[in-house]
Chain A
Amino acid sequence: MSIGLTVNGVACLVDADPGQPLVYALRNELDLKGVRFGCGDGDCGACAVLIDAEDRQACQMTLAEAEGKSVTTVEGLVGPDGAPGRVQQALIERRAGQCGYCLSGIVMRLEAMLRRGERDRAKIIEGLAANLCRCGAHARILRAVDDLLATP
């Protein structure tokens, strides 16, 4: 059974088990390795992606539930010339990570909040509390948030 969805702006048909968690379908069937698996339980945020305009954890929904939707991953924020998107750029500039494994999810969470027009620092931090970072890049990530908020 094929599932139709739009991924990073491109219409796709995925021929795979529709009941599988979206995180595996994106990584393996669509080769979007920027979607990270961290826990599979909805607890760490590593797998966050945009479903239409909303940030959702790709381990907590099935491929079938994404049918007809528009999915955006970190790959979709990169410009055609390979230039990182604004949130990615802000994190790179602050070297806001050590291993960087948590960052895909953090990028997508921030992207969703900024697209919603969220400009309240406290609210953004509250949103980011759903994403875990074990390397302790916390303070640097928040500095990147401040940079983003300082740019109109």
Chain B
Amino acid sequence: MTHKLGEHIGDWIAFPTPGRVEVRTGKVEIGQGVREALTRIAAEELDIDPAQIDLISGDTARTPDEGYTAGSMSISGGGVAVRQATSAARALFEAAGRGEGRPDYWALSDSMDLDRPVADFARPKSPAAYVLTGTGGGGRALNAQVKGAAFIHDLEMPGLLHARMVRPPWLGAEVKRMGEASAGARVIRDGSFIGVVCEREADAVAAGERLALTTLWSKAPGAGDPLDIIDRSNEPAPLDDAPISVTASRGFIAHASIAPSCAVAMWDQGRLTVWTHTQGVFPLARSLAAMLSLDADAVRVIHAPGAGCYGHNGADDAAADAAMLAMATPGRPVRVQWTRAQELTSSPMGAAMRTTVSASLGADGRIATMHTGVVSFTHVRRPGVGGVNLLAGWLRAGGAVDPVITGPMPAASGGDAERNATPGYDIAETSIWRTIVQHPLARTSALRSLGAHVNVTALEGAMDASAALTGEDPVVYRLRHLSDPRARAVIERVAAMAGGCAPGSGRGIGYARYKNVAAYCAVIVETELAETLRVTRAWAVVDAGCAVDPDGVENQIEGGIIQALSWTLKEAVNFADGAPSGAGWSDYPILRLDETPQIVVEILQHLDQPPLGVGEAACGPTAAAVCNALAALTGVRTADLPLTRERLARALG
């Protein structure tokens, strides 16, 4: 009988050699620390040393299909799945073994049939028995990365060819005149899809640069600045009688990973194998098969770690580039790596958006109504979501850009543009209105926290503005609107740690429960205003339910704070002729190490509760805290992000 990979214990676990355990997961390491947490969970349920576990992750030929590693669900979804499966394995072995304590897996494994349903045997430990869950630091986590090869970029295989891409300056540009690459370079072209392939990497770099310089493209159609579309959108005006109206907005945000996207592909005897740092090996495999008109089982996609991934970046596109090039070089693996400029301008971007929250107060000073309007570019354009959505498929001859999905994502997955637009506070009357705008040259998709970055900023701005109007302390005012004890606890604790955030203190608070169902997070920041706005200190409290790897949770919150500060203070993609532009980091500054605030994070641990996704939880609250601090410091409320020197000067007059 066939079953879906993942239903049976043997899909998740094997005992190949004495002392070793192979655990397979469809979730992948994207810098979020999932390997550490999943290893710990499996070791806990099997009562073995984490060092005995070999974690196999993200391989369409070997691991269960767990969709995308996204939405802060690596642990709340993938971790729970591993816990179920490994506990089921242990229960099976216990039933077969004799005596007390941990069964001898390796002695029994030959005679054991693991082809049994997880659901029939799963018996996770009681949290009271946890030894590895919720303790310790991340001692193993970075060992390989600081010593040598560790990334997809470092893969070596016999006969490896090196490639670089030449990109059109705007989506839809056509080649007017093909340029020249250097001698010895092979140019592979299909419509506007152009790559150069060489035996040596340095030669591919030089050939790619030369070809890019000498190729002429058609002129951009002058489609106008995409941000104007948001400004022109006919969002309903805030209610006339609403005393509070707060708007937050941002431009397009680049993923801006420190490594350029990279992939390796091999086309051999009708079979395609692709190594990639995608977030979803299975969806990517299906999209590649569709794009290349191959049978689904002719495509194998294997995950290899890239640099930090914060959403739908260039990884899938690079994989498609490598696949197209590999099909032109049968029998030889091809490694493609993007340039920094390509990484910053031809990856999907985080969506520009604008959110307005209008609120009215009741006689008791509490918020009685809150209406939220969101205008945004799409946040959902992943491969397989509404189309193939791979750049190579759009660029090649006869290729067409897949349509944008404008309908909302199911509320169960947290929504997209309207993520966290629903207030987490007890408010009698709320409504949300959302519209998705489009521009042919602005390609956007999922970036960490989706709409929550801007929505929480607007909503928490409205909370602060309401508190100010009633003359109340912003912490006390929030607590008046919260009955959920876990929400109250994170706010009370962060206020205690920071010593409050009274008006005039240069401090501001932001709070949200991510997606309204995942981790609770409250952040207070302290700011100084000189020529620019500088954040000097940050305090954060998070309730992630059962925090399996607390140091990993802290790391995610700290990283989320720094990244959100960077978005909020500095980041917006530049446009020229309506298309994303920029040659390198000097065109897209991010927060540097000499701009680091002091950060203190505390976790409210609940070992007996389900784990709650934490990777994106700090983004909205951090941005909100910064804007609220600015208002506390200057009396001016602006959340027209990023809060660069020029914009501050304009807002502060």
Contacts and interface: CB of A to CB of B under 8 A. Distances in A.
Interface of A: 16-17, 20-21, 24-25, 27-28, 31-34, 36-41, 43-44, 46, 74-75, 78, 84, 88, 91-93, 95-104, 107, 125-126, 128-129, 131-142
A139 B562 contact: yes
12 contacts: A17-B200, A24-B205, A33-B148, A37-B153, A39-B340, A43-B340, A74-B148, A97-B142, A100-B144, A102-B258, A129-B593, A138-B596
A138 B139 contact: no
Interface stretch (B225-233, B305-313, B366-374): B305-313
The 8 closest A-B pairs by CB, nearest first: A100-B145, A136-B562, A99-B31, A101-B307, A136-B559, A20-B202, A33-B149, A33-B154
Contacts of A141: 593
A61 to B, nearest CB: 13
A128 B154 CA distance: 25
A98 B31 contact: yes
Interface of B: 30-33, 137-139, 141-151, 153-154, 156, 200-203, 205, 256-260, 305-310, 337, 339-340, 551-552, 555-556, 558-563, 566, 583-586, 590-599
B325 to A, nearest CB: 18
A40 B339 CA distance: 8
Contacts, number: 189
A99 B306 contact: yes
A98 B149 contact: no
- Give the interface SS of chain B, mostly helix, strand, loop or mixed: loop
A17 B142 CA distance: 34
A135 B310 CA distance: 9
Contacts of A44: 258, 340, 585
Contact of B201 (A24, A34, A36, A38): A24
B590 A132 contact: yes
B493 to A, nearest CB: 19
B563 A142 contact: no
Contacts of A38: 258-260, 340
A134 B258 contact: yes
A141 to B, nearest CB: 6
Contact of A101 (B138, B145, B566, B591): B145
Nearest to A142: B596
Most chain A beta-carbon neighbours within 10 Å: one of B137, B142, B258, B309: B258
Nearest to B337: A37
Contact of B584 (A28, A32, A43, A92): A43
A83 to B, nearest CB: 10
Contacts of A142: 593, 596
